[in-house]
Amino acid sequence: MLEIRNLVVKIADEDKQILNGLNLTVNDGEVAAIMGPNGSGKSTLSYVIAGKEDYEVLDGEILLNGENVLEMEADARAAAGIFLAFQYPLEIPGVATMTFLKAAMNAQRKARGEAELLTPDFIKQVNAAADALSIDKAMLRRPLNVGFSGGEKKRMEILQMALLQPSMCILDETDSGLDIDALRIVAEGVNALRDKSRGFLVITHYQRLLDHIIPDTVHVMSKGRIVKTGGKELALELEKSGYAAYGEAA
């Protein structure tokens, strides 16, 4: 369970406050969607949860299963179960995707005091996950994300999520850049991971993703705060009337 209380965050090197007392809870087994205008702070929120260093937390707390993660380094948070599918996945030159996946899985296992994965088991898991997401095996030998298309990068994020089995999955605009078929494949990938012990925070601008990944709750974010919370019908309403009602220009 993820609990965020009164989170106030500013950019580390600037006097710019982005999150202004944000409250949000995502229960185990819940799929929560966040929608909100450009620049309202959605990506910032995801980065702060994941532990990016460019931000300064001025107030509030972030608890994962009751434990304050603000004290933890990003890699420790990952090992504790936080996963972020990036809005813009980064390219890692020279490191074959396979090599990266194995290193990441083993690093997390090690942090949790588990034994290293045996290579045959690893290969089996990767192949199964790649098949489910229709990812060509040849791509796994290429350096991670280098020269991948926008949609391929997004799919690769979900592949990593499937392999790392996090307990709190944050998806930042995973639907952008996906064609219609890929959107369905990725959504199925996410749905396959839905589980009563796993929470999801799905950041998106469009109902079309939520047609496939049906949320339990929808939050509206504006100017660094959650300003409205409702059920899946809230997304449909936003699709129609925009954010004007929340003090934002349409």
Ligand X SMILES: Nc1ncnc2c1ncn2[C@@H]1O[C@H](COP(=O)(O)OP(=O)(O)OP(=O)(O)O)[C@@H](O)[C@H]1O
Residue whose CB is less far from Mg ion, 205 or 232: 205
Please say whether the dihedral angle defined by the alpha carbons of residues 90, 81, 104 and 124, taken in this order, is positive or negative. negative
Please report whether residue 104 would count as binding other proteins according to CB under 8 A: yes
Please report whether residue 94 would count as binding other proteins according to CB under 8 A: yes
Please report whether residue 174 would count as binding Mg ion according to CB under 5 A: no
Using DSSP's 3-state secondary structure scheme, residue 233 falls into: helix
C-beta of 106: minimal distance to other proteins in Å? 6
Return the one option of other proteins, ligand X, Mg ion, none that residue 197 interacts with (CB less than 5 to 8 A, by type): none
Residue whose CB is less far from ligand X, 97 or 222: 222
Please report whether residue 97 would count as binding ligand X according to CB under 6 A: no
Interface with ligand X (CB under 6 A), residue from 24, 40, 130, 238: 40
C-beta of residue 125 within 8 angstroms of C-beta of residue 177: no
Please report whether residue 222 would count as binding ligand X according to CB under 6 A: no
For other proteins, how many residues bind (rule: CB under 8 A)?
36
Residue whose CB is less far from ligand X, 106 or 176: 176
C-beta of 33: minimal distance to ligand X in Å? 13
Contacting range for Mg ion; rule: CB under 5 A; set: 64-72, 85-93, 193-201, 220-228: 85-93
Return the DSSP state at 105. Answer: H
C-beta of residue 69 within 8 angstroms of C-beta of residue 13: no
Q: What is the 3-state secondary structure (H, E, C) of 111-153?
A: HCCCCCCCHHHHHHHHHHHHHHCCCCHHHHHCECCCCCCHHHH
Q: What number of CA atoms fall less than 13 Å from residue 140's CA on the CB side?
A: 20
Residue whose CB is less far from other proteins, 166 or 189: 166
User: In sequence order, what are the beta bridge partners of 172?
Assistant: 203
- As a whole number of Å, the end-to-end CA separation of the chain is 34
Residue whose CB is less far from other proteins, 35 or 80: 80
Please report whether residue 118 would count as binding other proteins according to CB under 8 A: no
Side by side, which strands form the sheet with 17-26? 17-26, 2-11, 55-64, 67-68
Please report whether residue 43 would count as binding Mg ion according to CB under 5 A: yes
- From residue 88, alpha-carbon distances to 59, 131, 151 in Å are 27, 23, 11
Residues 43-72 close enough to bind other proteins by CB under 8 A: 50-54
Residues 20 and 225: their CA atoms lie apart, in Å, by: 6
Return the one option of Mg ion, ligand X, other proteins, none that residue 83 interacts with (CB less than 5 to 8 A, by type): other proteins
What is the binding site for other proteins (CB under 8 A)?
A: 50-54, 73-75, 77-79, 83-84, 86, 89-96, 99-100, 102-108, 111, 116, 143, 160, 164
